[in-house]
Structure 1
Amino acid sequence: MRLNQKSLEKDQLKVDKLMKPYQGKLVSELKRGFLQNYSQDTKASFAVLARRMFGISDNHLSLDSSEKPLILKTIRVTGNDQPAENMSFFEVRFDEWLEADSWHETMLYQYFYDTQFVFQVFQQFPSGLRVPDNQMTFKRALVWQMPDYDLEHGLKKLWLDTCHLIKTNQIRIVPKKQKTGKIIYRNNLPKSKDNTVCHLRPGGKNGKDVIMLPSGQEIARQRLWLNKQYVNDVIL
């Protein structure tokens, strides 16, 4: 269900109240309080930390004022106002994209139309030097839903461009040899330079994790990603 601006603002106030005690604190300090029994110290530990801060066990956050759960995602921002990371979502189901009678019937549209998110932002404030993750600071938690304009333009354009390439058999998969001798395969699916909102990138277990396109071509499993500059514009 699409939330109006007042509902989003109400959710934001609730989240601000919950997260206010932690704003400005170093990740190392937050980990001592929330991850005492968590042995791993990896990128994934940010997601665990974010959940612990909200007192939840998965990525679904329920608020009294919210009409449905919000999806919790973490973002790490470097210093000097550099863009955040590309944000990964779900595996692309090309068959579903091609079978949909219209844009509004696709799972891609319905997911971003219906879903609200809470972005937990951890930022590196010192300038010039890249600091370890534990020295990053919790900045804020932002309640967000993709604007209608971005749904109907950037996200829709990705769907249209991808379907056109597949339907017209224009997908190109080119092997490229790296300096190490490893062979990787490049393709011409929409990249971040082609779309201001999102792009496709491989997201399988390894290079052998492939799927079959309707043309009979094998291609690495693809995931949807929001562009890092787009994410940066949302959170800063």
Structure 2
Amino acid sequence: MTYDFDRTSKTSIKAHADKLLYKALRQVLSDVQIKKIEPKLNKKRKGHFGDIVEKYVFDKEPDNSPEPDFPEAKLELKTTPIKKSSRKGFISKERLVLGMIDYDTIIHDKWKTSAFLKKNAHLLILFYLFEEDISPLDYKFRLIKLLDLLGDLPAADIVQIQKDWETIAAKVTAGKAHELSEGDTFYLGACTKGATAEKSYRSQPNSKVPAKSRAYSLKQNYLNFIVAENKATIEKEHDALISEWVPETIESIVHNKLKGFIGLTTTEIEKKLGRYSASSSKSYYADLARAMLSAKKKKIAEFEKANVTMKTIRLKKSGTPKESMSFPAMDYIGIMNEEWDESTLRDQLSENKFLFLIYKYDEDGSLRFNKYMFWNMPYADLEEHARKVWDEVRTRIAAHRANDLPGIAFNPVCHARPHGRNKHDKAPTPYGTMVKKQSFWLNASYIREQIKKDSLTRHDAVGFHC
């Protein structure tokens, strides 16, 4: 492949990248290059394929420089996998990593002059179709996109990404880099980066506690909206809370939409909305929540992009939730093939943000909208308690005890118990039997404590909680 492009010009570099469109590396590289690459291919090492593209397509040695890959053009090169979905077309396979977070410098940065923007303000993203059983040299590039992070994205998204960056910076400045979680933010995350061994930990300013190395990333769901081929289909399937050109964060728009319903009973809320539906319906509270948010469709674009899950919590008069909170049924076989850092449960708890809509029963039995809160599991609870339950579940399955998983008394944060449609709803185990479907649950008492903590740290002026 010839390298006849201008390294100082974004359009010239993009035109060179376009030569890859609908082709695989095997079709554009020389036989000599292929023979050099093939023996060293490592599908398991993340970033390896991107390094090959950087070196052999753009004649640039991979590095970890804080500068963009093409500094004179102020352009950063990214290579990321997509996969084919029968229903959605192409979707992202994983988050898009945008460089390491330097804990020592971020505490001095301002958004507009930040190291993050210096490196990532202009991105050239090469999307390739990942296929499990073929050589990386045969992956075909399906989309080549030049993205101006501050110019091409909707204004609301830019404001949210800035807010996310500021959230990460504030946590590091407070000496809490060790507590960072992808669930802290909406679109721009702080994902773990590096091995799971001790060498993945590093020092942080303003604290003696070592923190895991982390990188900035655009979340996988957010990337799906960039990858989407048919924007009209997305608009048809999703309602938007915010006009895309209104510079407002998700938290502030949710606050503005919900604050007028605080203190009302469900009957009063329905009257105010001019809608009436059967409270016995299984989807009643989810439908009511969407109506309060002025959403008519089941999917809300901002929540889909940010991996926000709405959960209705009904509190008894004592303040304890009526029930524990469930997650999808576990895969008895799959969980035995996972490592904790890449496990389904950890992903559900660390990458998701929850919007709790909290109702409380009055003395007369009326159910009243008490408050709402955005929540994600604190890092210490995730690593100390959720992991302990996950480990115990694996231990018992390995001992052929999938029908005897740790109950609510085992741990103050979560437990496992049946979650099937009925006693006949079963799933296979690694040891060949069928056992009732079960899932992980957050304990009702734990949810109560999290709601209490939110009330103590509430700051209405910003509108993050209410």
Deviates more, 1:41-50 or 1:117-126: 41-50
CA displacement 1:128-173 (0-9 Å, x = unmatched): x6x1xxx21101110011111111011111110010111123x17x
Instruction: Report the Cα distance in structure 2 between the residues aligned to 1:8 and 1:121, rounded to whole angstroms.
Output: 21
Alpha-carbon distance change, 99 to 89 in structure 1, aligned in 2, over 3 angstroms:
same
Q: Contact between 1:76 and 1:122, CA under 8 Å: does it hold in 2?
A: yes
Alpha-carbon distance change, 11 to 114 in structure 1, aligned in 2, over 3 angstroms:
same
3-state DSSP class of the match of 1:19? helix
Cross-structure match for 1:201? 417
Structure 2 unaligned blocks of 5 or more: 1-94, 96-163, 171-183, 187-248, 453-466
Instruction: Report the Cα distance in structure 1 between the residues aligned to 2:390 and 2:429, rounded to whole angstroms.
Output: 15
1:50-65 equivalences in 2 (<5 Å): 50-56=289-295, 57-58=297-298, 60=300, 62=302
Instruction: Report the Cα distance in structure 2 between the residues aligned to 1:35 and 1:158, rounded to whole angstroms.
Output: 45
Runs of at least 4 residues off by over 6 Å? none
From 125, 146, 151, the counterpart of 2:377? 146
- Are 2:306 and 1:68 aligned? yes
Q: Contact between 1:34 and 1:49, CA under 8 Å: does it hold in 2?
A: no
| 1:208 counterpart letter in structure 2 | H
Cross-structure match for 2:337? 99
State the shift of 1:125 in Å.
3.2
3-state DSSP class of the match of 2:309? strand
Cross-structure match for 1:112? 349
RMSD in angstroms over aligned alpha carbons? 2.6
1:1-236 equivalences in 2 (<5 Å): 4=167, 11-34=250-273, 36=275, 38-39=277-278, 41-42=280-281, 44-56=283-295, 57-58=297-298, 60=300, 62=302, 68-100=306-338, 102-126=339-363, 131=365, 135-169=366-400, 171=401, 187-236=403-452
TM-score, length-scaled by structure 1 = 0.79
| 1:85 counterpart letter in structure 2 | E
CA displacement 1:27-69 (0-9 Å, x = unmatched): 1111234473534534531121112111233365627xx9724
Alpha-carbon distance change, 202 to 19 in structure 1, aligned in 2, over 3 angstroms:
same
Cross-structure match for 1:175? none
CA displacement 1:56-109 (0-9 Å, x = unmatched): 33365627xx97242111000010323442112211112221101x21011211
Instruction: Report the Cα distance in structure 1 between the residues aligned to 2:450 and 2:292, rounded to whole angstroms.
Output: 22
Alpha-carbon distance change, 73 to 201 in structure 1, aligned in 2, over 3 angstroms:
same
Alpha-carbon distance change, 54 to 217 in structure 1, aligned in 2, over 3 angstroms:
same
Cross-structure match for 2:139? none
Deviates more, 1:112-121 or 1:214-223: 214-223
| 2:443 counterpart letter in structure 1 | N
Structure 1 unaligned blocks of 5 or more: 173-186
Q: How many residues align?
A: 211
| 2:399 counterpart letter in structure 1 | T
Instruction: Report the Cα distance in structure 1 between the residues aligned to 2:429 and 2:387, rounded to whole angstroms.
Output: 20
Cross-structure match for 2:234? none
Alpha-carbon distance change, 125 to 76 in structure 1, aligned in 2, over 3 angstroms:
same
| 1:76 counterpart letter in structure 2 | R
| 1:146 counterpart letter in structure 2 | M
Instruction: Report the Cα distance in structure 1 between the residues aligned to 2:352 and 2:320, rounded to whole angstroms.
Output: 27
Alpha-carbon distance change, 109 to 115 in structure 1, aligned in 2, over 3 angstroms:
same
Instruction: Report the Cα distance in structure 1 between the residues aligned to 2:299 and 2:326, rounded to whole angstroms.
Output: 14
Alpha-carbon distance change, 165 to 211 in structure 1, aligned in 2, over 3 angstroms:
same
Q: Give the % identical residues.
A: 26
Instruction: Report the Cα distance in structure 2 between the residues aligned to 1:153 and 1:218, rounded to whole angstroms.
Output: 30
Instruction: Report the Cα distance in structure 2 between the residues aligned to 1:13 and 1:233, rounded to whole angstroms.
Output: 24
Q: Contact between 1:12 and 1:142, CA under 8 Å: does it hold in 2?
A: no
Instruction: Report the Cα distance in structure 1 between the residues aligned to 2:438 and 2:293, rounded to whole angstroms.
Output: 31
Q: Contact between 1:59 and 1:71, CA under 8 Å: does it hold in 2?
A: no
| 1:233 counterpart letter in structure 2 | E
Instruction: Report the Cα distance in structure 1 between the residues aligned to 2:430 and 2:342, rounded to whole angstroms.
Output: 20
State the shift of 1:208 in Å.
0.8
The structure with higher relative contact order (CA 8 Å, sep 6+) is 1
Alpha-carbon distance change, 115 to 35 in structure 1, aligned in 2, over 3 angstroms:
farther
Instruction: Report the Cα distance in structure 2 between the residues aligned to 1:228 and 1:220, rounded to whole angstroms.
Output: 22
Instruction: Report the Cα distance in structure 2 between the residues aligned to 1:67 and 1:205, rounded to whole angstroms.
Output: 30
Alpha-carbon distance change, 61 to 28 in structure 1, aligned in 2, over 3 angstroms:
farther
Alpha-carbon distance change, 71 to 82 in structure 1, aligned in 2, over 3 angstroms:
closer
